Every structure is written in structure tokens, then in C-alpha cells.
Chain A
Amino acid sequence: MTAIPDIRVVPRWRRSRAVLSVLGQLPLTGKIGLAILVFWLLVLITISVLPLPDPLAMAGRRLQPPSIEFWLGTDALGRDVFSRTLWGAVYTIPIAFAVVLSAVAIGSFMGAIAGYSGRWADSVIMRAADVTLSFPPILLAMTVAATLGPGLSNAAVAMVIVWWPIYARLMRAQVLEVRTREHVEAAIAGGAGRMRVLRVHILPLCWTPTLINATMDFGQVALLAASLSFIGLGASPPTPEWGSMISEGATRFYSWWIAMGPGLAILSIVLATSFLGDGLRDIFDRRSRT
């Protein structure tokens, strides 16, 4: 699990500001990270038209080592591991995206309420977050996934449950800090409605740490999803999900190539998001100082 970065930022993030200029300021590693993610997005979009063998059908003899014909060899059912690896993006990336999005939405909502309204709502929400954060993440995810039964969607639910409190804490801390700023006090003094103050004057200033954190967590979510599948609590066969492919490879690891592709794929996503997240943090840190 990622640590919550301790960032107090005055965001200059406006929709009008060109996103490109931010990306242009990324350090080299950040650009590499971005490139990897763009690559996977392209794979995701074009996968059905790429000239790849059917990931579910037999393509050649079983357990063939990598060759010109099968770049990453074939698995125990004679399926092309390279094709299955690329197809794995179709499962992992949308799931990780959905999980991060849901966790951010739920967590930020809770955190904003807790930070803004205080009192009992704050206590209830933050105690729930405390209890959730008391579990070692993988144990909680395993328990929830086991309870709901195996399956990618259940694993996704489990991961949202693991992740929301992080965003709740993050958002709460931001809201608490921004709430005391002068312009907010002025708005309140000017008689603006409570919800309007929250929406217009506070929230827009609170997103930056959440965004950076979400970028980094994307890779961690993908990793946990694969871990759950590896244990047998996530995707079910014949889904070419990376974690379950590695688990298939684990039972035949003399045929090392079965696990090679999916392992590298997960690694690339985790690395890419941490590169990109780091880069973004640097940019915003620098801006906040100036």
C-alpha cells in the first residue's frame, strides 16, 4: 500500500491550463511512464483488430518455448502466451481504473463530508476508515473476496473496500486545511450556502494530492488484482488475466515462459504509474514552492 504523501499544495490546476504543458514538464522517467501507459491504452483500444491468435483457442503445440512463431511460447493448452498477455490488458486496466475511480469517488466524498461537517459524521466516517486501515490490505481483500466468492468483479469490490479510506483521509486533511483559508472564511462571512462553499471554494483546491495518489495507486491496484487472481480469488479461467496466468505458470514453472509475459506486463504498469506519479508530484511540489 502506498504511503499517503504529505503534500500541501496550492493547485494551479485549471481545466483551461494546457494539460500538455504539465506533461511537457515531466522528468524523463515520468515521460517513460506515460509512454508505457499510452502503449497499454493503445493495446486496449486496438486489441480486437491486432493480428493476434485467439487468446482462448489452441494456436499450436502445447508448452512450446518462445520462437519466431510464438514470441512468448505456448501454454498447457497450446494457447499463444504473447496474445494472452496483450489480452490481459483488457481485464486489468479497466478493473484497476474502475477500482481507483470508485475508491476516489467514495473516499473523497466521505472525506469531504467528514472534514467539512465535522462532529458525529466526522467521527463515524473516520472510525470506519480507521478500522478498515487496521487490516493488512491483502488480508482484508482476501477475506472479502473469499466471502463474496471468486470472480474479478468481487475482487474489485474487495479492493474498493481496501482503498476508500486512504482517499477519505487524504480529502479530509485537505478540506480541513483549505477550510481555514481566508477566501473561504470570506465566502462564509459573505453568506454563501454551506454546500456552495464546499463545492466552489474548497473542493477545487483539494484534488491535487488525490490525483497524484490515484496515479500511483493505479499500479498498486493492478498488482493487488493480480495477486488475488494468483491466489485463486480473482479471475477464473480461461480469462487471460495476468495473475491467473502466472498461477498457471507456477504449477509448471519448468516452462518458465508461461509466467514471463504476464509478470513483465504487471511490472511495466506498476513502474509506469510510479514514474508518472513521481513526476507529477515533483511538478506540483515545485509549483507549490514558487
Chain B
Amino acid sequence: MQHYGNLHGSFVRACVVGALSLGAIPATGEAQESKALVVGRAMDFNSLDPSRSFCDTCQIYLSSVYDTLVALGADNQSLQPGLAESWTVNDAQTEFEFTIRDGAKFADGTSVEASDVVWTFQRMKNLKGSPSFLMDGMISIEARDPRTVRISLESSNSEFLNKLSAPYAGIMNAEVAAAGGAIADETAAEQDQAENWFLSNSAGSGPFKLVSYSPEAELRLARNDEYWGEKPYFAEVVISQIQNAVGQAQALESGAIDVAMQVDADTAASIRSDDVTVEIVPSYNFLYIAFAPGAKGMADVLTPEVREALTLAINYDEMVEFTVGGNGAKQAAPIPNGFPGTANLPLREQNVEKAKQMLADAGFEDGLSIMAGYPNDNVYGVDINIMMQKVQQDLKAINVDLELRPLTYAVWREELYGDGLPMTGLYFAPDYYGAGQYPAYFAMMPGTTWLARSGLDDQETLVNPAAADLYKQALASSGDEAEAIYEKIGLEMMKDNMIIPMVSPNLVLAYRNDIKGVRYSACCNLPLAELTRD
């Protein structure tokens, strides 16, 4: 097919045109220069409110509409000035002072001031929404003058700046959002009613602003003419709902969309059009299985030895082959490859004989049966069903019978906290660049999500004190020193055998040849403002 002349569906269209005797009417009549950028995506928005939303598409949207104080560089590692043109940090990494960029404006033309930052962060903390963990440990925040913000933390946190580069930490226009019903004080969690307002309005200072959103249809953005930085090339961006990988691939081939990043590698291999570029890059996402010894009747079954035996039964090479057709990587600990501390971690290996032996030693010579409940989703090109079926096949070899129960997300979460799910399969994508978010979520230390999800009333037996100590050290150090500590944390997490990464799928960036600047960002998925058309 030719360049984007929109000939797709040309036969039907020609028939329709012919049937109507309207042959003179061109099938497409849009002016070329005004053509919007269209991204095809299965949108997973849970909210458009920065302090409530938490999803992959949210990252794209928020990073395009709400500027953060600190931005993640194109190398996916370094931090760059964003709304804050500079900052200072004390040696203990507990005091942070930011100077707001002169001339930075919100989309309504008003200046970004320190008070907006204070309001945004207080609201994020008080709203207790999914991203409020970014503000964990903040004991005070104040506007010292209209352009200076000071934040104090209760303990050292070498990752605080990284956290501020997360798209959820984008700065809101306090006045506009408050007029929409947003509340920042302590009553926010109960009183804030702004969620609905955010579905049709935005209040950011980023390169784009929200035009409209219809759930499961499309999200429209327009260029923000007040943007302080380089104005984006596209005046209009549309994220169009296309549920599955095949649909996205087909829409790309026909030119209906410009960019897709949820096409799985198998499908990408079937793209025949010469007008589509397919780039396959390593991602920082991964899928894992997790155990809950606290699930009903599992306390004496999912012992550390049994868990280790189960992990030894899995063929990790085949797992990568089955889930993503080889377009992915094995991952040792629940910290993605490429993040600090992962370079030298030993990969897990299959050892069926040892697994059988360990099971026998643990008193399960005749095997055992375990239930696995997991959300019935297809994420990052991996069908979790397929992943769990592979686990099931592998466990069969050591006489472990795995009962699979794919669940809708709501039921899955309900069961997780009800009787518990002995085994589950899940996925994780980074919220920002930094290894600290992983132990804070996965490690067996007090307060983490997965310690709570383990379901044990007496969580002490699971807690790994070494991990907690190391984590504190890591937050108090930086650079190579921190990296070395994260490696130790990774080893501890592997030793716990609670969270077992299955695969880190490669990301397929598929786009029309005339689109330039497509790249994968660790914090923000797809930086829309960097894209141009030839």
C-alpha cells in the first residue's frame, strides 16, 4: 500500500461511493498538514485525576499534560530539570529545595507558583489514592516564596527526586482544580469530589491539554500554546481505543493509526506493510508469579522449602519462548533488568530432580495440589492465561497439580484478601526510574504490599529483617554504593522465593514510517511531545 493516502477499506468504500453515485467525492478529504497524531491503545484509565490515576495509559496522558518538577532524561536514567529549573539537596537527603522555572505557565496562562506545588503534593498525600506512596515520608512542604518550594522528609531518601519524576507527581493548577471541586487538606480522602471534573478538564502546564475523553472510545489532546518549553509538533493527539494487538496491527497497516505499542511480538512478525516500522526493545516491565502462604489451608504447604521446589520446577527459557515467542528476557529478582543492582544477579535455573527431592523431603512424595487465581488479562503482550498454563505444565512434571482460576480483576482482588490465593500471576511496570520502588512493594518487610498480600496473620514469620535493613541503607546512600546494596536486596528477595519473575517481555514499538521520535520511556511509556511527522 502507498503512503498514507488512506486507501484502507478502499473496496468497501468504493462500493459505497459507487452505490451512492457519488463517485466524485474523495474518500478522505482532510488537509494533510493538520493531520492529528493517532495512537492506538487499549486504554486502561482508572481515572484522569493525577492523584488518583494509576495505569500505563495514565502515564502517557499525565506526562503529556502535567509537567513534573524533575524530568527523566531520554537515557531513561538521568534526571533533568522540569518545572523546577534547579534544586538543592542536603547531605542527609532529607531536605529538598526547588526553584520553579521562570515563565512556566499553566494552560490557562497563569504562572506556575510554589503554592501550586505545595497544594498538589499535599492533595496527593491526603487523598490516599494509589500514587500517594510517592509522598510517603514527607513531613513538611512549604512555599518559601512564589518560586521556591521546600520539602522535608522524615528519613533519608536518595530516590525522592526520582519519585518526583513520576507522571503522577505532575503539578496541578491549584486554583482551577479547586474550582473543579478538588480539595488538598486532610479531609481530601473523604470530601474530594473532583474525580468527575478531571474526566473533562485538565489543569496542567505540560505540552498538551485535555480536549475530551470518552471511555473506551478516545482521548483527545490539543497543543498547549502556553507551554514554556519547545512546543510539540502535533497540534492534536488522539489516543484511540483499540482493544487487542491484532486490531492495533491492522490499524497501523491501514494507516488508521500512527503508533501502537501493545502489539505483541508474534503479531508484529505478521505485519506485512512496508509502511510500518517495527522496533523491538527491552522493557522494564515484567510478569511474575507470587505465593501466599497465608491463603486458606496453605500455611503448612507453602513452606520456604516447598516454594523453592516449585520455583525449581519451572523452565524459565521455555517460559520466555511460550509467553512472548522468545522476544523477552529472563529476570532474576523482582527488579527489572537495567535498573540499579540487577547486572550481576544470578538467573533462576530449572532443576526438576532437585525440585522432586525437595518436595519429597518436605513430605509431599505424592505431590500436592495448589490453586492459582489470577486476573484474566493480556498485558505487555503476555496472555497471563498462557503464562499460568505453562507454569501448570511445568509443575505437573514434579507431580504438583495446579488448578487455574482466571478471574476478573475485581474478583481477584476480593479473593486475594478473602480466603487468599495460594498462587497468583501478575505484572508490574515501573512508576519512575529507581530500584527502591521494588523492595518497597515486593520485599518481605513491614508495610509492603506483598507482605500484606501473603495473607498471614502472623507476618513475622515471613519478614526478612535483612531486606529492611538493606533498604534503609540503600535510601541513605547513592550511586555505586546504592547499586551494590540493591543487588544484595535482590538476592534477599530471591532467597525469600515469594515473588518469582517469569518474563520481562520486550516492547514492540510499531509506527508508520513517517513518524519520528518514537521511544520507550521508563516513567512515561511514550513521550507524545517528542513525536514528529516527516
A250 to B325, CA, bound (A): 17
Which chain B residues lie closer than 8 Å to A255 at the CB level? 266
Within 8 A of B (CB), among A96-140: none
Q: How far is the CB of B249 from chain A (nearest CB, A)?
A: 8
Q: How far is the CB of B377 from chain A (nearest CB, A)?
A: 10
B321 touches A237 (CB 8 A): no
Interface string of A55-96 (1 = CB under 8 A from B): 011100011000000000000111000000000000000000
The stretch of B54-62, B78-86, B197-205, B399-407 in contact with A is: B399-407
A150 touches B270 (CB 8 A): no
Contact A77:B389 (CB < 8 A) given known A62-B325, A238-B404, A251-B245: yes
Within 8 A of B (CB), among A224-281: 232, 236-238, 248, 250-255
Which one of A58, A248, A252, A253 contacts B393 once the chains associate, using CB atoms below 8 Å? Answer: A58
Q: How far is the CB of A62 from chain B (nearest CB, A)?
A: 7
Query: How many A residues touch the partner, as a band?
Result: 20 to 34
Within 8 A of A (CB), among B386-401: 386, 388-390, 392-393
Closest to B403 in A: A236
Contact A76:B405 (CB < 8 A) given known A63-B266, A252-B266: no
Which chain A residues lie closer than 8 Å to B244 at the CB level? 250-251
In the complex, whether A204 has a CB less than 8 A from a CB of chain B is no
A251 to B408, CA, bound (A): 17
A77 to B318, CA, bound (A): 10
A232 to B264, CA, bound (A): 21
In the complex, whether B246 has a CB less than 8 A from a CB of chain A is yes
In the complex, whether B376 has a CB less than 8 A from a CB of chain A is yes
Give the interface SS of chain B, mostly helix, strand, loop or mixed.
helix
A149 touches B266 (CB 8 A): no
Closest to B272 in A: A254
A77 to B244, CA, bound (A): 19
A254 touches B321 (CB 8 A): no
Which chain B residues lie closer than 8 Å to A150 at the CB level? 376, 405-408
Q: How far is the CB of B375 from chain A (nearest CB, A)?
A: 11
Closest to A255 in B: B266
Closest to B378 in A: A251
Which chain A residues lie closer than 8 Å to B393 at the CB level? 56-58, 77
B390 touches A77 (CB 8 A): yes
Which one of A62, A248, A251, A252 contacts B322 once the chains associate, using CB atoms below 8 Å? Answer: A62
Which chain B residues lie closer than 8 Å to A76 at the CB level? 266, 322, 383, 386
A50 to B435, CA, bound (A): 53
B404 touches A236 (CB 8 A): yes
Q: How far is the CB of A264 from chain B (nearest CB, A)?
A: 21
Q: How many residues of B contact A (CB 8 A)?
A: 27
Which chain A residues lie closer than 8 Å to B388 at the CB level? 237
Closest to B321 in A: A62
Interface string of B360-395 (1 = CB under 8 A from A): 000000000000000010100001011011101100
Which one of A77, A232, A254 contacts B270 once the chains associate, using CB atoms below 8 Å? Answer: A254
Closest to A239 in B: B404
A237 touches B266 (CB 8 A): no
Kindly name the residue among A62, A251, A252 whose own CB sees the greatest number of chain B CB atoms within 10 A.
A251
B404 touches A78 (CB 8 A): no
Q: How far is the CB of A125 from chain B (nearest CB, A)?
A: 34
Q: How far is the CB of B41 from chain A (nearest CB, A)?
A: 16
Which chain B residues lie closer than 8 Å to A250 at the CB level? 244, 246
Closest to B406 in A: A236
A236 touches B405 (CB 8 A): yes
Which one of A149, A238, A254 contacts B267 once the chains associate, using CB atoms below 8 Å? Answer: A254
A232 to B375, CA, bound (A): 11
A106 to B376, CA, bound (A): 34
Which chain B residues lie closer than 8 Å to A232 at the CB level? 376, 406, 408
In the complex, whether B411 has a CB less than 8 A from a CB of chain A is yes
Which chain A residues lie closer than 8 Å to B407 at the CB level? 149-150
Which chain B residues lie closer than 8 Å to A77 at the CB level? 322, 386, 389-390, 393
Contact A251:B383 (CB < 8 A) given known A58-B393, A232-B376, A237-B389: yes
Interface string of A171-213 (1 = CB under 8 A from B): 0000000000000000000000000000000000000000000
Which one of B245, B246, B270, B389 contacts A238 once the chains associate, using CB atoms below 8 Å? Answer: B389
B385 touches A252 (CB 8 A): no
Q: B residues engaging A (CB < 8 A)?
A: 244-246, 249, 264, 266-267, 270, 321-322, 325, 376, 378, 383, 385-386, 388-390, 392-393, 404-408, 411
Q: A residues engaging B (CB < 8 A)?
A: 56-58, 62-63, 76-78, 149-150, 232, 236-238, 248, 250-255
Sample (23) of A-B pairs whose CB atoms are under 8 Å apart: A57-B393, A62-B325, A63-B325, A77-B389, A78-B322, A149-B407, A150-B376, A150-B405, A150-B408, A236-B405, A237-B388, A237-B389, A237-B404, A238-B389, A250-B246, A251-B244, A251-B245, A251-B246, A251-B378, A252-B267, A254-B246, A254-B267, A255-B266
Given contacts A237-B388, A252-B245, could you give 6 more A-B pairs where the C-beta distance is less than 8 Å?
Answer: A77-B390, A78-B322, A150-B406, A237-B389, A238-B389, A251-B245
